[in-house]
Chains A and B, each alone.
Chain A
Amino acid sequence: MASTTILRTSFLPKRSEWFAPNSHQSTSHLQPTSVSLTVRAGSYSDELVKTAKSIASPGRGILAMDESNATCGKRLASIGLENTEANRQAYRTLLVSVPSLGQYISGAILFEETLYQSTVDGKKMVDVLKEQNIMPGIKVDKGLVPLAGSNDESWCQGLDGLASRCAAYYQQGARFAKWRTVVSIPNGPSALAVKEAAWGLARYAAISQDNGLVPIVEPEILLDGEHGIERTFEVAQKVWAEVFFYMAENNVMYEGILLKPSMVTPGAECKDKATPEQVAEYTLKLLHRRIPPAVPGIMFLSGGQSEVEATLNLNAMNQGKTPWHVSFSYARALQNTCLKTWGGRPENVKAAQEALLIRAKANSLAQLGKYTGEGESDEAKKGMFVKGYTY
């Protein structure tokens, strides 16, 4: 059955109705606002639903290319390049200009610098993406910092001035946003850390929607740790229950969000490995127990898995029907081979772009449950887990 939304946003209560005096009550004193009048997503409702659906289209997923300047520096350093704006521009030009990328990629998450950048040919990055039928997205969080009172855990900053930043990004052409917070299993996680992660995401999601951006909701449960897959499953269920409850309290409209979860896998240092089928089983169970069907798309992060692993796991999850579009939002798992192939040399650009297209196509097939894995290179199979990885 086609997963169409039946939401007619015209029948949702408008903000003016929220504060309209109720005929049953006097307005001579302040009445506590009734909990029961929920406003969802304000004036952008229809557009948000449309954007989310477009990103969650069959056979397509997201290219995450929103590495901060510092993180991008690490990538460039790995191929012997200096972390200059020119080099970052050259690399991002390479990525957005991959011919026919829009066949497999529905959205690209950008860092702020890139959103306002032009390619080396002087064309706006967002325009190149739009011509490719790829929605531009923007990272809006301001990174992780230590969470006081926790067990050495982090929380994600970025709510201050978020509304006006989102509005400005919308003006610039962005149509979706991303906010990444993390939860660490070896450190607990503490109830405080989970609550903060969930509440921050909920506040961000509400503010994004209010300003026309589809929020990608990303509570990454870090791979670090020796724990088994059952423990990951337990923590994931707790985290997602909190995330959805706080989003409900913040009146977030689920038809206009996307999720970016981590797959349910054993910890990176766990001696027991899991097959793609096991990862799929646990992850699908998690989704069925926690994700309302109104959410149009679930775009998994790769989090240190190798390019091939990430594709295999995604493929395993798409062997049956699911109520949501189950896809990818990969950074390293899409870019790794491409980056290595480029090596910073102009003469390698074409080959590097082909490498990216190969990965994009593989993941597209995985989204459709049709990936066979033939012809994968060794580079693609290399694990990319970095212990204690900071973004």
Chain B
Amino acid sequence: MSAFVGKYADELIKNAKYIAAPGKGILAADESTGTIGKRLASINVENIESNRQALRQLLFTSPNALTYISGVILFEETLYQKTSDGKPFVDLLQENNVIPGIKVDKGTVDIAGTNGETTTQGFDSLGVRCQQYYKAGARFAKWRAVLKIGPTEPSELSIQQNAQGLARYAIICQENGLVPIVEPEILTDGGHDIKKCAAATETVLAAVYKALNDHHVLLEGTLLKPNMVTPGSDGPKVAAEVIAEYTVTALRRTVPPAVPGIVFLSGGQSEEEATLNLNAMNKLEVLKPWSLSFSFGRALQQSTLKTWAGKKENVGKAQEVFLARCTANSEATLGKYTGGSGGGLASESLYVKGYKY
């Protein structure tokens, strides 16, 4: 079979298209318990279930914010959580036309014999887990593969291993009704310039799409979550327009038009940087047959988190800050962002060297 067209094909295509609709994007709120602990620690909040629930509730009940969100990626715990009024988060999202998604990978591990390159775990019983998540209301999934740039990286082994992993995950999702978000993140760590990142990104994406095609993945029912093409964290800085040009060139060379949408990760970019770069891409006057949108974690939540600081009395203000970032990024998907929303917090770099999820 050329592409897998199972019983969920039409639904997958419909959902992927909806998530990729211009004017909206994805809120990545799938931080694992460990990772969300780091976030909470940064605002001196204890990492207990009620606090994790409180943060997510703050986000999901922000007035009007969900208008700009087409999907939310959840961690497993959150998929089964409720608001303080007892309403399942999944129901709340669906009522607001937001598609719930679920992180299904189980983190990265080192590939022996490489210089710190990794592969992603999570295949055992993945099909069964996807079915359960589907029953619980999830309609898309996310799996993060990680690559790095170095003198001999990304290695052929790492590229092949991660591409095959993404493809296998993708087809299993599609067999079970979940739109797979395909995420081959190339870390920004390093002193390389933007050309090196462009070359690496093109090589990785070519391998990823080859693997997806070999595994019969239905491209119309997938989304891509790539890194933007940028200089390394220690490399020479460039303007948003340059990032936009390199990124869109790389995507035009590798992503078939059958893919409905590309939802960028923000990596360690500040909230404002991420929005400006996305905006520049959508302003570029060249043919882009897929939509270009966002799937931001830190770049949507950082200021909101700081403003909340774990205090009930700050919820309203924090929600306003969140709405502002959602609106800004929505405008960026239309190339209409004029910049400057969010003040100092929004410009804070979120880069962490050797960042572990």
Write out, one digit per residue, whether chain B residues 308-350 have a CB within 8 A of any chain A CB (1) or not (0). Answer: 0000000000000000000000000000000000000000000
User: What is the CB-to-nearest-CB distance from A293 to chain B, in angstroms, rounded to a whole number?
Assistant: 5
A288 sits at the interface (CB 8 A):
yes
User: What is the CB-to-nearest-CB distance from A333 to chain B, in angstroms, rounded to a whole number?
Assistant: 27
Measured in the bound complex, the distance between the Cα atoms of B196 and A6 in whole Å is: 18
User: What is the CB-to-nearest-CB distance from A291 to chain B, in angstroms, rounded to a whole number?
Assistant: 6
Known: A2-B285, A34-B151, A37-B199. A294 touches B253 (CB 8 A): yes
Query: Using a CB-CB cutoff of 8 Å, which residues 219-270 of chain B contact chain A?
Result: 219-220, 245-246, 248-249, 252-258
Known: A34-B151, A241-B213. A294 touches B202 (CB 8 A): no
Q: B249 to A248, Cβ gap below 8 A?
A: no
User: What is the CB-to-nearest-CB distance from B49 to chain A, in angstroms, rounded to a whole number?
Assistant: 42
Known: A38-B203, A292-B253. A6 touches B284 (CB 8 A): yes
The stretch that binds A, out of B70-78, B80-88, B96-104, B286-294, is B286-294
Measured in the bound complex, the distance between the Cα atoms of B355 and A269 in whole Å is: 59
Interface size class of A (residues with CB under 8 A): 35 or more
B2 sits at the interface (CB 8 A):
yes
A244 contact set on B, CB distance < 8 A:
206, 209-210
Q: A35 to B151, Cβ gap below 8 A?
A: no
Query: Using a CB-CB cutoff of 8 Å, which residues 40-84 of chain B contact chain A?
Result: none
Known: A6-B249, A38-B199, A291-B257. A1 touches B285 (CB 8 A): yes
Query: Using a CB-CB cutoff of 8 Å, which residues 223-255 of chain A contact chain B?
Result: 233-234, 237-238, 241, 244-245, 248-249, 254-255
A2 contact set on B, CB distance < 8 A:
285, 287
The stretch that binds A, out of B10-18, B28-36, B125-133, B152-160, is B152-160
For chain A, what secondary structure do more than half of its interface residues adopt (helix, strand, loop), or is it mixed?
Answer: loop
B155 contact set on A, CB distance < 8 A:
35
Most-contacted residue by chain B among A7, A8, A293 (CB, 10 A): A293
Known: A2-B285, A6-B286, A245-B206. A292 touches B151 (CB 8 A): no
When C-beta atoms are compared, the residue in chain B nearest to A286 turns out to be B2
**CB < 8 Å: which of A7, A24, A293 contacts B257?**
A293
B146 sits at the interface (CB 8 A):
no
A146 sits at the interface (CB 8 A):
no
Known: A22-B151, A25-B151, A294-B253. A289 touches B258 (CB 8 A): yes
Measured in the bound complex, the distance between the Cα atoms of B219 and A34 in whole Å is: 30
Given A25-B151, A36-B154, 7 more A-B residue pairs with CB atoms under 8 Å apart are: A1-B287, A2-B287, A6-B249, A32-B152, A241-B213, A288-B256, A288-B257
**Residues of A in contact with B (beta carbons under 8 Å apart):** 1-8, 11-13, 22, 24-25, 31-32, 34-38, 233-234, 237-238, 241, 244-245, 248-249, 254-255, 285, 287-294, 323
6 nearest A-B pairs in the assembled complex, by CB-CB distance? A248-B206, A36-B200, A241-B213, A245-B210, A294-B252, A234-B2
